Amino acid sequence: MSDPYETTEAHLDRLLGRALNSFDLPDPLVERLGTALAHSSSLYTTHRSPATGAWRESHRHTYLLADGGSVSLWELAYRQESDRAVRYEVFASRAEIRPAVVRLFGEAPAEAALDPAPLPGDAEPDGDPAGLSALFAAADRCRREYTVEESADHARRVLRRAENADRPGAQVAARLRSAYGHRITQAFGTRASLPGGRDAGFSLYEHAFVLLDGAEVSLWEVEHTATPDGRHMCEVYESEEAARGAMRLRARVR
């Protein structure tokens, strides 16, 4: 944790001193950083694998320079599988973190993943949307890259727009007040024919949150137009199974 009374000079010395690769930074950049007058640090992403104990975070350190300009350094803090030691590397740009993660963990950050390919459900509107949603499931949900940006407020807004009576209650909402990172993944999307010949659109989103105590909590949001007047409706559930069941019901009952 950063010392709020730490000088910018001391902060920079500590950052470069613990980085295993600080010697890779360009000399002109290091010289410019020597004129830093003030600094600000923020957590950017966090990732953990409960199964292996591996963990990593990326931090952005921004420095105000004497010439009125600013420079950012990107720090990767990590702990590898079966290793309790925390190590640090520092980079001149955010883009350099991606190959470092591949080198250290053998995987690209989730934010670099390609958009999912079109699913059979898009070509078969008569299919069961709940059954087809399994094809959109992430291959490994233990690997998550979280964005740290007003996550508790995002959880509040997701719960507020839910219209279903069996939406998550006050206990879940209270837990999510401690969310500091989140990730949104589209798990499913298609159109289906309803009884009576009318079409409706269905989408399923996972809103995954990481809490201050290290726990991970997901909300499953169903967006659909299977309403009597065809209007857009949002429903939120605590489990993917419940969300799938809701889609199946909406596709057959309306």
pLDDT (0 to 100) of residue 198: 67
Residues with Cβ within 8 Å of 131's Cβ and at least 6 positions away in sequence, in order, are 248
Among candidate residues 18, 32, 29, the one with its CA nearest the CA of residue 76: 18
pLDDT at position 232 is 84
Segment 45-104, tens digit of pLDDT: 888 777 777 888 999 898 888 887 888 999 999 998 877 789 999 999 998 998 998 888
With a cut of 70, which residues of the chain have pLDDT below it? 1-5, 107-145, 189-198, 253-254
pTM, rounded to two decimals: 0.49
Q: What is the pLDDT of residue 40?
A: 82
Pair of tokens at residue 19? 């980085």
What the block records as the tokens of 222 is 């169903």
pLDDT value of position 29: 93
**Does residue 123 sit in helix, strand or coil?**
helix
Q: What is the pLDDT of residue 106?
A: 79
Cα within 13 Å of Cα(42), Cβ side: 11
- What is the pLDDT, as a whole number, of residue 247? 83
Comparing CA positions, the residue from 143, 163, 134, 155 lying closest to residue 241 is 134
Q: What is the mean pLDDT of the chain?
A: 78
CA–CA distances in Å: residue 112 to residues 66, 99, 131: 35, 11, 27
Cα atoms in the Cβ-side hemisphere of radius 13 Å centred on 191:
9
